[in-house]
Structure 1
Amino acid sequence: MASKPNIPKGTRDFSPTEVAKRHYIIQIIKRNFEKFGFQPIETPSFENSETLMGKYGEEGDRLIFKILNSGDYLAKSNATHLENRDSTKLTSSISEKALRYDLTVPFARYVVQHQNDIEFPFKRYQIQPVWRADRPQKGRFREFFQCDADVVGSKSLWQEVELVQLYDSVFTALGLEGVTIKINNRKILSGIAEVIGASDKLIDFTVALDKLDKIGEDGVKKEMMEKGISEEAILKVQPLFHFSGTISEKINQLSVLLAESNEGMKGVEELRFICDNVTQLGLSTTILDLDVTLARGLNYYTGAIFEVAPPKSVSMGSIGGGGRYDDLTGIFGLKNMSGVGISFGLDRIYLVVEELNLFPETVTETSKALFINYGESEAFYAMKAIKELRNSNIKVEFYPDNAKVAKQFQHADIRGIPFAVIAGKHEMESNMFSLKNLTTGEQLTMDFESLKQALLNS
């Protein structure tokens, strides 16, 4: 007996209802991307391994799905590495490609590869799936969609201001109130590391600090010490764990803390520009907050960094994030190409909108009417009407089999179709149709134009 089929952990099937709801979110995001002047591109689902590896830090590299070379891949592998069971070194000889981990690094590759065809500044958006070999849990999957918007070719901080407004525009359109857009700057983190004498441990410092909301203050301190950051340095960074006040007050506190760091003060001034202008322009429903512990573990961020938290009433991780990456394309040979971008986490946003019951009922609307099948001649009469209704953008369908009428009505009920159209021999003879409301049971006989208007107005 064949075993029951299943799917890999961290992946999902989507029902028609779920797909409709996902498309609703995607369309809102897409509409706002285009409203802000972003243009769509797409890149392959997998890239050459050297394009991805080394771009996300040690933790990120570990989560990249590698694709085995086709054919007898072991025949061409390094015999010594195979014999020693050295998987790290063996991988490069048996796997030359990998599934993309995010959309930003492939975008940087795209910019470098097509630089002669691009008009800069280039504003692109991309809505495609990515893959991460992460441990599946609520809101975290191994295959999921990202919805990214990036600008390359401009160092202007007005881009950051616009991206905050873009976040606000999308979440307002979704009806999500109380979303918090957290902002920080990597230059500030570099400055703090410099001030406490841990510049050589910057990556370890930021990766640990970024986990504050997950493992708490004690957990962060323990990880920093394990990475070789001294107790004295950790003591100096203690104020960061309890930073409070308005954005303006926090920026002033940072100005004092980082007064001896040129890099840190650059970050302070960049933050001041972005936050002051966002505040003066105003936001509709979202909240902007300066979070000095926000580090985001990706190595390529060099300026402002963003992370978006859902309303506090929902238990969920971040639903978006991004930042400035002044030298990302440099890793592919294109120097001095500044960029900044943000991402929307479609799958988590879906779960938040669902939990808060914010999907409009119309999102999952099915066909307006089901035409009942009474036989061959009646079917042709019905199909002529169906064709005209569809030409008028009315969603209708025909039951394909000449089954018992009760079964056809039951099918409409299960599908949630509100009307049935009866086009039997009697209706054919009078060139009419009977429209039955399956909720009230009311049935009216009418000509085609009246039928069309009734369905249009329903």
Structure 2
Amino acid sequence: MAQKPSIPKGTRDFGPVEMAKRNYIFNTIREVYALYGFQQIETPAMETLQTLMGKYGEEGDKLLFKVLNSGDFMSKVTEQELQERNSLHLAAKLCEKGLRYDLTVPFARYVVMHREELQLPFKRYQIQPVWRADRPQKGRYREFYQCDADVVGSDSLLNEVELMQIVDTVFTRFGIRVQIKINNRKILSGIAEVIGAADKIVDITVAIDKLDKIGIDNVNAELREDGLTEDQITRLQPIISLSGTNDEKLQTIAKVLSGSETGLKGVEETQYILDVLKSVGLRNEIQLDLTLARGLNYYTGAIFEVKALDVEMGSITGGGRYDNLTGIFGMPGLSGVGISFGADRIYDVLNTLDLYPKDSMTATQVLFINFGEKETAYCLSIINKVRARGIRAEIYPDTAKMKKQMSYANAKQIPFVALAGENEMKEGKITLKNMETGEQQMVTPEELIAKL
């Protein structure tokens, strides 16, 4: 007996219903990106390992899926190298390519390669799968989609404002209530500076970024392990636990950071973003959160994170300002800011709250019943008119029993069924049945189109 096929761990099949839901997510995000002048690009699933390696840290390098060279990939490997079993060394000889780990590094490579063709500032969006050789678990997959938007070649904080408006618009369209959290890496650098631990900025941000997950006591324990003194940790506490309105928090932190030029610059940038957002008006709450650090250390300015209010879920969108992403490919000084929607987590939130619009789940709008050759020929001319008006229609391919054809319509959740027998053909009409209410009436093809 043939072995039952399977798929790799951490990957998934998506059936028609799941694809309808996923396309609703992707199309909504795509439409909003386009509204704000972002243009779509795509990059290859495979990049050279030279492009990918060393951009995500040691841990990230281990999670890269590497692709074996074509042909006789063993020809360059010596017997001694095989016996040494040094997997990293062997991978370097056997593999020149890898599957992309994210969309950001390929985007930086794209900008450097196509710089002469690009009109700066360049506003791009990209909705594509990425791959990570991570241990699969709930909510974490080896293949998943990212939905990124970035603006490069502009220092203006209006870009940050627009990205927050995009976030607000997308989640309003989805019907998901969210809280948008904002902070600034310059503020965090200023805090590290004024408590006398400027060299520990990475350790501090990594530790306080875990506050929601592990609590204040464990964060403090981690800071001790990272070499901060008790005095420095004590001076950090009131900053981590700031309360009040966004403006009140900024006023307090400005006093604390009065001796740090970098920190005050971060306060000024954050104040500007929040003030402009107040004037344009967001439907969702935006909150200054000084414990927000974001894991990636290439962020240099404003940072954002979005959480759903009605579902227990991690961050469903994140992003921030980076000053030198293209520097890794020899083009320093090109500033950018970007966001990424977590499509898979948004999918889970929409499922939990049952927020998918009914029409987004409907593929075929009307099924024409097949009673035989004459009736089919009559229906086909009407179907052509119906499809020409953008109505999704199909005819049952076989002359099967009526019950079987109706069951097909029910299984596919087709809302209307069209039937044409001798009477309808004589009058040049068709009977339209509403599958939800059971109501049916004889209509002309034009009336059928108007109803649908």
Q: Which runs of 5+ in 2 are unaligned?
A: none
Aligned residues: 452
How is 1:33-432 mapped onto 2 (pairs within 5 angstroms)?
Answer: 33-77=33-77, 82-177=82-177, 179-284=178-283, 286-311=284-309, 313-425=310-422, 427-428=424-425, 431-432=428-429
> Could you report, residue by residue, the CA deviation over 1:191-250 in whole angstroms, capped at 9, with x for unpaired residues?
223333433333333222222222222333333344444444333323344222221222
1:319, 1:257 → 2: CA distance? Answer: 31
Bigger mean CA offset, 230-239 vs 138-147: 230-239
1:116, 1:364 → 2: CA distance? Answer: 43
Residue in 2 aligned with 1:437? 434
Going from structure 1 to structure 2, the CA distance change for 1:91 and 1:257 (only over 3 Å counts) comes to farther
Query: Do 2:316 and 2:346's aligned partners in 1 also have CA atoms closer than 8 Å?
Result: yes
Give, in angstroms, the shift of residue 82 of structure 1: 4.5
Give, in angstroms, the shift of residue 309 of structure 1: 0.9
Give, in angstroms, the shift of residue 427 of structure 1: 4.1
Going from structure 1 to structure 2, the CA distance change for 1:438 and 1:267 (only over 3 Å counts) comes to closer
Give, in angstroms, the shift of residue 155 of structure 1: 0.7
Give, in angstroms, the shift of residue 78 of structure 1: 6.8
Amino acid at match of 2:330: G
Going from structure 1 to structure 2, the CA distance change for 1:63 and 1:212 (only over 3 Å counts) comes to farther
Going from structure 1 to structure 2, the CA distance change for 1:165 and 1:81 (only over 3 Å counts) comes to farther
TM-score (norm 2): 0.92
2:251, 2:38 → 1: CA distance? Answer: 35
Q: Secondary structure of 2:363's partner?
A: coil
Query: Do 1:55 and 1:299's aligned partners in 2 also have CA atoms closer than 8 Å?
Result: no
Query: Do 2:128 and 2:146's aligned partners in 1 also have CA atoms closer than 8 Å?
Result: yes
Query: Do 1:139 and 1:316's aligned partners in 2 also have CA atoms closer than 8 Å?
Result: no
Amino acid at match of 1:20: A
Going from structure 1 to structure 2, the CA distance change for 1:298 and 1:455 (only over 3 Å counts) comes to same
> Could you report, residue by residue, the CA deviation over 1:364-396 in whole angstroms, capped at 9, with x for unpaired residues?
123232222222333222222212211122222
1:185, 1:77 → 2: CA distance? Answer: 48
1:198, 1:78 → 2: CA distance? Answer: 49
> Could you report, residue by residue, the CA deviation over 1:275-323 in whole angstroms, capped at 9, with x for unpaired residues?
2222233212x11111112111212111111111111x20111110111
Query: Do 1:56 and 1:299's aligned partners in 2 also have CA atoms closer than 8 Å?
Result: no
Going from structure 1 to structure 2, the CA distance change for 1:53 and 1:336 (only over 3 Å counts) comes to same
Bigger mean CA offset, 422-431 vs 329-338: 422-431
Query: Do 2:368 and 2:379's aligned partners in 1 also have CA atoms closer than 8 Å?
Result: yes
Percent identity (aligned) = 57
- Over the aligned positions, Cα root-mean-square deviation in angstroms equals 2.3
2:70, 2:133 → 1: CA distance? Answer: 21
Query: Do 2:429 and 2:445's aligned partners in 1 also have CA atoms closer than 8 Å?
Result: no
